[in-house]
Amino acid sequence: MSSNIGRYILVFSASIALASCWDGNGKNMERYVTDYFDESNGNIRHLRDTTTRSRSKRYVLSKGKWPHRTLRWRLHNNQLSRNDRYIIRSTLHRAFDVWAEVSSLQFMELKDSMDTTNNNNDEHSQHIPTDIDILFVKGKHGDGLPFDGPEGVVAHAFYPTVGALHFDADENWTLNSDSGINFFQTAVHEIGHLLGLEHSTDPRAVMFPKYRKFSTDFDLADDDIRGVRSLYPLTDPKN
């Protein structure tokens, strides 16, 4: 597997994937988190208003959570090469597994209509509705939240139950490298938002709003685990 995912300049319509996000007047704007990379200090900044934090718990929950425990996701990837598509899908599986291992959630990938590498899925899966749509896009891409080129805004995710995750295709996404923006670590952080977690005040947490350079020891902290289990306890049936 290559350590450098590279830059993706994709041109495709996001209108179908994002149709459930909007009521026509942009009234779901308050339900997203945008993370951006500040090169001067390595911080991922949070563009939403901060909420009052409790000293007894540092994780912060959004107002929503998923009503079911099996979440279906799809990578919309019609402009990706076969090799890039394999790397990205494999990395997303790893990122989702990080959260599945500590909660009652499980994640199922659905085949994209343009994907010829995922032969294990039946053709009918292309018509199954998804919970989470994942896209690599650049600039304006149909949700009123345009990306701004390299660095700056790197990704944004919508809280439950909108289920949209967008990565800036202009970024230098990498794996196993100190250069660029680490895709796996960013994906784990953004999936936390998709599940209903806001930013944590615990500097050890994955959900803490500070970008971390590549680390072989990267993993959820106790605060992340407590946060996701408060939404999806291990005792919940996986359905």
Binding residues for Ca(2+): 131, 148-149, 168, 171
Residues belonging to the binding site for Zn(2+) are 141, 143, 156, 166, 189, 193, 199, 207
Give the residue numbers marked as catalytic. 190
Count of other CB atoms within 10 angstroms of residue 175: 20
Cβ pair 41, 205 in contact under 8 A: no
